[in-house]
Structure 1
Amino acid sequence: MGQRVWVTVAVALTVGFGTGLYAGPYFVSSSETDGNSFDLSSLPDELRQKHRDPDYLLSEIKNYELMKEALARLEAEQSSQESLVLPEGMTSVPLGQLYLPDDEVHWPEDVSGDVGAALDAAKNGWVILNYWASWCAPCVHELPEMGEAAPLYAERGVTLIAVNTDPTLTDSRESIRALFSDRNVYNLEPLIAEGEGLESLLAASGQSKSKLGLPTNIVFAPGGIPYAMFQGGDTKATEVWTAPETLEFLEIIVRAD
């Protein structure tokens, strides 16, 4: 791992917000900090270098109030969402709070290329579709464990698909391949949505280029039927995607189908 870069909450919250985007309120933290800083070492080198530029930090801090408003709206939207009823005996799932999808959430249609092929191949079974970008610290943080989880899910009849949905065009096929190699992400294809495919994927999650919260995850039942949505679990937890409780939850919903 490269040199650790610590920034205040004000800066960490505004990564990507200058273009109208924001990452969800899940950040990599550490006991080494004072509680008001976050470790952005999981970000690509280029973005870590930007956080050493005083002008860049100043521009991010200026966006802080706008970011707080955006997160407040996001939390308000989440509080109004109906929670998924968990299987009997389960009070929570490490993946995070599970919600029933809004009516506008649907299976992505008319997606071509590698992403479309992956979706088509998985549609007849259970699918977890993950939206991420390299500027989203919690997204990058969880990728290695997601790679570990993919074969475990496959054994249980669930396909895990992670798609880079960065509308800023900061990410590319080459950059995400390099990120996967650098972060030791295995068992996941380095998929990136582009052009109309990106628009289709965002619309399927009820989002758009100007209103995008990451990470976003959609659980689909066989046939591409939306089952649940979640943003993510506790980044301080050692196991989220591979936690025994997560695997048990998936086993139960697949058996009940």
Structure 2
Amino acid sequence: MRKPAVFIALALLGAAAGALSYRHFAQPKVERATTIAPALSFATLDGKTLALSSLRGRWVLINFWASWCAPCMDELPHLVAAQSNYGSLGLQIIGPALDEPAAVQPLLRRFQINYPVAANFSAGDAAMRELGNDRGALPFSVLIDPDGFVAERVLGGMSAEQLQQLLQRHLGRS
């Protein structure tokens, strides 16, 4: 008499788990970013001020880096290629360096950086922390959607493939 009750209980439990799994996995989950990006401005090396608010309507990838950071140096060519490949789809990369302008200037030429770069350690560090990097580790990238919401954060260097997957996931194009 005990065995049928156990089997019935297990069958009911299995049916409930199946129904919950179906509701969870069978239908696509669209999750909208809920964190709005802070009102940040960057003083670029060409003497301009670039406010995030001026880039509404575009995808913005903010990549925090430094000249002394080896993974940052590995990532720079991928970012230059991404700006070239995805700029027409509305991507704007910004590169605040946690560094001094004198250390960054030669890298602009070496890597042919094609997006705005800022170089102010304390301002970059403060902006990075406002965007969610409380560790202070580099590189750190934040993708902001056209409505000004943080879409994704990436702590650590991205390979060309990882960067492409991130951008394809949000902007499309291969």
TM-score (norm 2): 0.63
Deviation string 1:142-180 (CA, Å, 9 cap, x unpaired) is: 11221121022211122111211x2xxxx3112201122
Larger Rg: 2
Change (3 A) 1:154 1:110: closer
Give the CA deviation at 1:216.
Answer: 0.9
Q: Which amino acid aligns with 1:233?
A: M
Aligned equivalents of 2:108, 2:162: Cα separation in 1: 17
Contact persistence 1:126–1:157 (CA under 8 A): yes
Residue 240, structure 1, aligned to residue 161, structure 2: yes
Residue 205, structure 1, aligned to residue 125, structure 2: no
Aligned to 1:113: 43
Residue 156, structure 1, aligned to residue 89, structure 2: yes
Give the CA deviation at 1:199.
Answer: 5.0
**Structure with the higher helix share, 1 or 2:** 2
Report how many residues are paired: 139
Contact persistence 1:106–1:226 (CA under 8 A): yes
Contact persistence 2:94–2:117 (CA under 8 A): no
Change (3 A) 1:110 1:247: closer
Contact persistence 1:108–1:204 (CA under 8 A): yes
Contact persistence 1:145–1:241 (CA under 8 A): no
Contact persistence 1:109–1:200 (CA under 8 A): no
Structure 2 unmatched runs, 5+ = 1-27
For residue 76 of structure 2, the aligned residue among 119, 140, 143 is 143
Contact persistence 1:132–1:162 (CA under 8 A): yes
**Structure with the higher strand share, 1 or 2:** 2
Residue 227, structure 1, aligned to residue 160, structure 2: no
Contact persistence 1:106–1:205 (CA under 8 A): no
Change (3 A) 1:227 1:246: closer
Aligned to 1:174: 102
Give the CA deviation at 1:138.
Answer: 0.7
Give the CA deviation at 1:121.
Answer: 2.9
Contact persistence 1:123–1:223 (CA under 8 A): yes
TM-score (norm 1): 0.45
Structure 1 runs of 4+ aligned residues shifted over 4 Å read none
Change (3 A) 1:251 1:132: same
Aligned equivalents of 1:111, 1:248: Cα separation in 2: 27
